[in-house]
Amino acid sequence: MIDIKLIRENKNLVKENIKKKFQDAKLPLVDEIYDLDVSYRETKTKADNLKAEKNRISDQIGALMREGKKDEAMKIKQEVAKMGEDIDELTKKEENLNKDIKEKMMKIPNIIADDVPIGKDDSENIEEQRFGDPVVPSYEIPYHSDIMASFNGLDKEAAGRVSGNGFYYLMGDIARLHSAVLTYARDFMINKGFTYCIPPYMIRSDAVDGVMSFEEKANMMYKIENEDLYLIGTSEHSMIAKFKDQILPCAELPITMTSYSPCFRKEVGAHGIEERGIYRIHQFEKQEMVVLCKPEDSDIWYDKMWNYSVELFRTLDIPVRKLVCCSGDLADLKYRSCDIEAWSPRQQKYFEVCSCSNLTDAQARRLAIRYKKDNGDKEFVHTLNNTVIAPPRMLIALLENNYQEDGTILIPKVLQPYMGGMKKIEKSN
């Protein structure tokens, strides 16, 4: 959520930002919010002035009663009573206007960075840099689910009977490799100075509204029936909401955390995209990194965070590239974002495995997360998040880039301690 001062003082900037994100249907909201805000401030001023006047003349009642001027005192009491009714009416109007403003403000996208490329959707994202040389082996690499099945490591058919489409069973060495990747990612981030966390997997609606837009909420989140609870789509949701309504000491910033959680997503409209495998699914596990920092430090942390993703994947000998997200591909709360994509030798192209985002103070405003500066002033923190590893997709990259002609899978050296010293996965007789 942006600062309403931007709409009060620079409506054109807000409208231009909406146009850059190709959300022209939201343009009328800016003028609506502006008019509502004018009415809100006028109403608040009237109510405040009336409260002051009520207090002033109420002080006269006692003095008049002591002087025996009962009739005058009763007349003022009637005036005070009428003022009280008017104040109640103005206060109710003020509350309703404030509610309308907040609901509309929640739909206004965050102001994007000046250097974000302008484009309608992810097809116009821009490749910025590659890390590692992509290799296409001379032999054919099977589809990732077939690789897993060859080790008796994947059962989607049974998961379909139990849970429906978009779920899976991982078994044996493939399941162990999945866990090894998560544990390695956890330790990698701890070694970077991040605090390891395991958060709640369900959060209330006010926390959901604090961390994401209404559109994202409708398309992603699973709601628990008859409860004010939602299953998280990523641990970022509960990790940021952990600081809801808090004023943090300046000395505690930056707060750097790496969190593990299962993630649950509807994936509305995503059917047909690698649906046979485990590329896009309703349930998966993920290691996340989350940072809360002072505003002047957020772009510094943004660069650190996406570089951590590159470094991690390169320790696994997986070639990756950085893709800068264009304006139309940014979710409403994002100031800037980039994807880290891993090389798929089977498809001979890159695919997304990490997404790093700087949301500036958009989430902090919604959740009232501030810090106290050395001079005593309070300011909203900036929040950032990035995928460390999401094993279903990361597992695809790992398997494809380490698949051997004889059907075995080489285990990268950094993962071998997490696999009991195993150097490769072989088919059992």
- Statement to judge: residues 393 and 296 lie in one domain: yes
Cα(184)–Cα(418) distance, integer angstroms:
7
Is 301 part of any domain?
yes
- Statement to judge: residues 173 and 101 lie in one domain: no
CB 397 within 8 A of CB 387: no
Is 114 part of any domain?
no
pTM over 0.75: yes
CB atoms within 10 A of CB 229: 17
In DSSP notation, 31-60 reads HHHHHHHHHHHHHHHHHHHHHHHHHHHHHH
CB 335 within 8 A of CB 356: no
Cα(232)–Cα(230) distance, integer angstroms:
6
Cα(327)–Cα(117) distance, integer angstroms:
6
Cα(367)–Cα(359) distance, integer angstroms:
13
CB 290 within 8 A of CB 105: no
Report whether pLDDT(68) > 90. Answer: no
pLDDT digits (tens, 9 = 90+) for 322-354: 999 999 999 999 999 999 999 999 999 999 999
- Statement to judge: residues 316 and 403 lie in one domain: yes
Is 91 part of any domain?
yes
Give residue 277's pLDDT. Answer: 78
Q: What CATH number does the domain containing 20 carry?
A: 1.10.287.40
Higher-pLDDT residue of 83 and 158 is 158
Higher-pLDDT residue of 271 and 248 is 248
Q: Which two tokens stand for residue 104?
A: 């509309």
Q: What percent of the chain has pLDDT over 90?
A: 83
Residue 166 pLDDT grade (very low, low, confident, very high; cuts 50, 70, 90):
confident
CB atoms within 10 A of CB 84: 14
- Statement to judge: residues 75 and 163 lie in one domain: no
Q: What sign does the dihedral 183-189-191-194 (CA atoms) show?
A: negative
CB proximity list for 37: less than 8 A, separation 6 or greater: 4, 7, 8, 101
CB atoms within 10 A of CB 392: 21
Please state the rounded mean pLDDT for residues 237-249. 97
| Residue 271 CA from chain centroid, whole number | 23
User: What 3-state class would DSSP assign to 230?
Assistant: strand
- Statement to judge: residues 90 and 176 lie in one domain: no
Residue 279 pLDDT grade (very low, low, confident, very high; cuts 50, 70, 90):
confident
Is 110 part of any domain?
no
- Statement to judge: residues 281 and 191 lie in one domain: yes
Q: Which two tokens stand for residue 145?
A: 């689910």
pLDDT digits (tens, 9 = 90+) for 108-156: 999 999 999 999 999 999 999 999 999 999 999 999 999 999 999 999 9
Is 305 part of any domain?
yes
Dihedral of the alpha carbons of 143, 125, 220, 201, in degrees to the nearest 10:
80
- Looking at every residue in the chain, the average pLDDT score rounds to 93
Residue 273 pLDDT grade (very low, low, confident, very high; cuts 50, 70, 90):
very low
- Statement to judge: residues 329 and 194 lie in one domain: yes
Please state the rounded mean pLDDT for residues 7-18. 96
- Statement to judge: residues 27 and 63 lie in one domain: yes
Show which of 105, 136, 153 is a domain's final residue. Answer: 105
Q: What CATH number does the domain containing 230 carry?
A: 3.30.930.10
Q: What percent of the chain has pLDDT over 70?
A: 96
- Statement to judge: residues 137 and 275 lie in one domain: yes
3-class SS shares of the chain: helix, strand, coil, % to 5: 45, 20, 35
CB 221 within 8 A of CB 205: no
The residue segments making up the domain with residue 226 are 122-425
Report whether pLDDT(180) > 60. Answer: yes
CB atoms within 10 A of CB 379: 14
Report whether pLDDT(73) > 80. Answer: no
Based on the structure, what is the number of domains in the chain?
A: 2
- Statement to judge: residues 93 and 59 lie in one domain: yes
Cα(182)–Cα(394) distance, integer angstroms:
10
Please state the rounded mean pLDDT for residues 63-72. 73
Please state the rounded mean pLDDT for residues 379-389. 97
- Statement to judge: residues 98 and 130 lie in one domain: no
Give residue 63's pLDDT. Answer: 66
